[in-house]
Amino acid sequence: YDNVLYGKPVANRILEKCKQDCDEYILKYDRQPRLTALLVGGHPSSKLYIKNKQKAAKRVGIEFNVVNPVMHSTHEAIVDLIQTLNNDDSVDGILLQLPLPLHLIDQTENLIQMIHADKDVDGFTTENYCQSTTMIPVVDAVHELLKEIGEPTKGKNVVVIGRSKYVGAPIALLLSRSTVLSNELVGDAHVTICHRETPLDNFKMHCKNADIIISAAGRPRLVTHDMVKKDVIVIDVGITKSSGSNTVFVGDVCFDEVRKSAKFITPVPGGVGQVTVACLLKNLLTLANRRVTKAFMNEQTNNHT
């Protein structure tokens, strides 16, 4: 369908650029940049996500390894592992795969913040988050997809469904920030954030009035045909494992029915997710290059003191 906005071509373009950057890095420094994933236990969806990231990393030429402590690992054990990776000079990026097992869930934020900002490939640490929330791969992916559509979002009614710190909130910020200085295509929209506590009537009314809906709730069948207007643009960020299966994932939007009214709509799977993986690897290369520069600068300073 020509109104379906697939992630693959966008992801491929980003990955091609990553490959060029990676080749250049290897040529210059005679080593592959390295991304280490920390997977606690063996959550089936997490394993699949890791596999996808691994595959893309291989294609680009990034070394990817998985540290996989047992499910019942203690908080202290994970802290130790993160610190070891922080201090390991051969590691350019650390990825803490979420969600953590139940007994560690309350420690998620604390463990995220243990990762050194220089190796924080997800852009979650306070230092990176405060500097720019568009470094977060899924936010960057939404940005890339909107740029692909090529329509300015200025003055448009946008509904973002979901308000979480690392997904909904930074996406809302991306769409509402001023573009006066950057001259960007994405930004300056009128953004409404809907969330769990938004009264259903309001929720439906805002969606019906939206030029662009970005759904990041993780609730299948949340956005239905009667809730959207003609020519709406829909970016479906939500991913839920459909019940009884390990491998079938669905988005928040009733794709088949909403597609009929949409100007553009992203599918799940095959939409935002693929672009997110590409954006993650883009970050890894940025971090790897930044680390070399920083080490060089430190050396210079030391030589002069």
Question: Any catalytic annotation for residue 208?
Answer: no
CB of 221 to ligand NAD, least distance (A): 10
Residue whose CB is less far from ligand NAD, 197 or 256: 197
- Pick the catalytic residue from 21, 32, 97, 282: 97
Ranked by CB distance to ligand NAD, the top (closest) residue is 218
Q: Which two tokens stand for residue 17?
A: 């650029």
- Is residue 234 within 8 A of residue 268, CB to CB? The reply is no
What residue type is 97 in one-letter code? Q
Residue whose CB is less far from ligand NAD, 114 or 222: 222
Positions touching ligand NAD (CB under 6 A) are: 138, 161-164, 167-168, 194-196, 198, 216-219, 222, 237-240, 272-273, 276
- Pick the catalytic residue from 21, 32, 53, 236: 53
Residue whose CB is less far from ligand NAD, 93 or 162: 162
Question: Any catalytic annotation for residue 122?
Answer: yes
CB of 162 to ligand NAD, least distance (A): 3
Question: Any catalytic annotation for residue 83?
Answer: no
CB of 203 to ligand NAD, least distance (A): 6
Residue whose CB is less far from ligand NAD, 164 or 242: 164
The catalytic residues are: 53, 97, 122
